[in-house]
């Protein structure tokens, strides 16, 4: 099932590039899935890592994901899929609210995604400087608010033993990046 999800993501994102480079977009969901796998999570969550942007950024739907991977994977992906018809602020507030109230599996998926996005942004900033912000719907201050809000809410409802190491990594990356 994991290889099937990886192949599905590769095909779905085949012509897409990351915002600030010519890097194939699929490298992002592959890294997210790898982080989830390294944390020891189940196959459904790892598959959701590969597929987390498919319904949001490609012609495929949550129904397509459910048909191919079952309801658990589809529900995880759906919980993390933004409605791109809504304004940036509203979409991000929804994600913040979701991470606060979500199941731990959804939190794990969201934070793995946000950590990978931030690490990529950090690399882009080092290589390209402040011009990277022109490729986003929101600049530095709004990105700071968003990432700090995710950190503030990602621990809600989790016991210490349920917190994977990459949550701490994300918290430190946010502090470092948005000094």
Catalytic residues: 56-57
- CB within 8 Å of 71: residues ≥ 6 apart: none
β-bridge partners, 17: 24
Residues whose CB is less than 8 angstroms from the CB of residue 73 and which lie 6 or more positions away in sequence, other chains included? 5, 44, 47, 48, 51, 65, 66
Residue-level length of the chain: 179
**Measured CA distances, 94 to 38, 39, 40, 88, 113 (Å):** 28, 26, 27, 10, 15
CA–CA gap between residue 179 and residue 176 (Å, rounded): 5
């Amino acid at each position: 099932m994991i290889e099937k999800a990886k192949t599905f993501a590769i095909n779905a994102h085949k012509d897409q590039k990351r915002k600030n480079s010519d890097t194939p977009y699929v490298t992002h969901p592959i890294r997210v899935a790898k982080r989830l796998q390294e944390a020891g999570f189940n196959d459904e969550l790892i598959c959701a890592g590969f597929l987390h942007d498919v319904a949001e950024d490609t012609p495929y739907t949550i129904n397509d994901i459910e048909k191919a991977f079952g309801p658990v994977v589809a529900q995880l992906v759906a919980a993390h899929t933004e409605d791109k018809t809504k304004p940036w602020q509203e979409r991000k507030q929804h994600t913040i609210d979701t991470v606060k109230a979500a199941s731990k599996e959804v939190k794990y998926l969201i934070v793995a995604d946000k950590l990978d996005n931030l690490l990529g942004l950090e690399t882009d900033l080092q290589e390209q400087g402040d011009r990277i912000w022109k490729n986003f719907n929101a600049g530095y201050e709004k990105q700071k608010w968003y990432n700090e809000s995710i950190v503030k809410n990602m621990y809600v409802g989790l016991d210490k033993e349920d917190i994977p190491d990459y949550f701490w990594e994300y918290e430190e990356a946010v502090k470092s990046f948005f000094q």
